[in-house]
Amino acid sequence: MLSEDQVLEILQKVGAFRTGHFVLISGLHSGSYVLKDAMYAHTKETSQVCREMAERFKNDKVEAVIGPAIGAAILAQWVAHHLSEMTGREVNAVYADKDGNGGFIVKRGYDKVIEGKNTLVVEDLTTTGGSIKKVVEASRKAGANVVGAVVICNRGNVTKEDIGITDPAKFVSLVHLSLEQWPENECELCGKNIPVNTDVGHGREFLARKK
With contact defined as beta carbons under 8 Å apart, do 26 and 57 qualify? Answer: no
| Residue among 99 and 199 whose Cβ is closer to Zn ion | 199
| Residue among 41 and 179 whose Cβ is closer to Zn ion | 179
Q: What is the 3-state secondary structure (H, E, C) of 64-111?
A: EEEEECCHHHHHHHHHHHHHHHHHCCCCEEEEEEECCCCCEECCCCHH
- Reported residue count of the chain is 211
- CA-wise closest residue to 135 among 107, 109, 155, 116: 107
Minimum distance, C-beta of residue 16 to Zn ion, in the bound complex (Å): 22
What is the Cα–Cα distance from 183 to 176, expressed in whole angstroms? Answer: 22
Binding site for Zn ion (CB under 5 A): 29, 187, 189-190
| Residue among 89 and 210 whose Cβ is closer to Zn ion | 210
Minimum distance, C-beta of residue 188 to Zn ion, in the bound complex (Å): 8
Minimum distance, C-beta of residue 186 to Zn ion, in the bound complex (Å): 9
Q: Which residues contact 137 (CB under 8 A, 6 or more apart)?
A: 103, 104, 164
What is the Cα–Cα distance from 61 to 168, expressed in whole angstroms? Answer: 13
HSE-up (13 A, CA, CB side) for residue 110? 24
| Residue among 166 and 193 whose Cβ is closer to Zn ion | 193
Minimum distance, C-beta of residue 183 to Zn ion, in the bound complex (Å): 9
Minimum distance, C-beta of residue 184 to Zn ion, in the bound complex (Å): 6
| Residue among 29 and 133 whose Cβ is closer to Zn ion | 29
Beta-strand pair 181-182/118-126: unpaired
Shortest Cβ contact with Zn ion: which residue? 187
| Residue among 143 and 182 whose Cβ is closer to Zn ion | 182
Minimum distance, C-beta of residue 211 to Zn ion, in the bound complex (Å): 15
With contact defined as beta carbons under 8 Å apart, do 151 and 123 qualify? Answer: yes
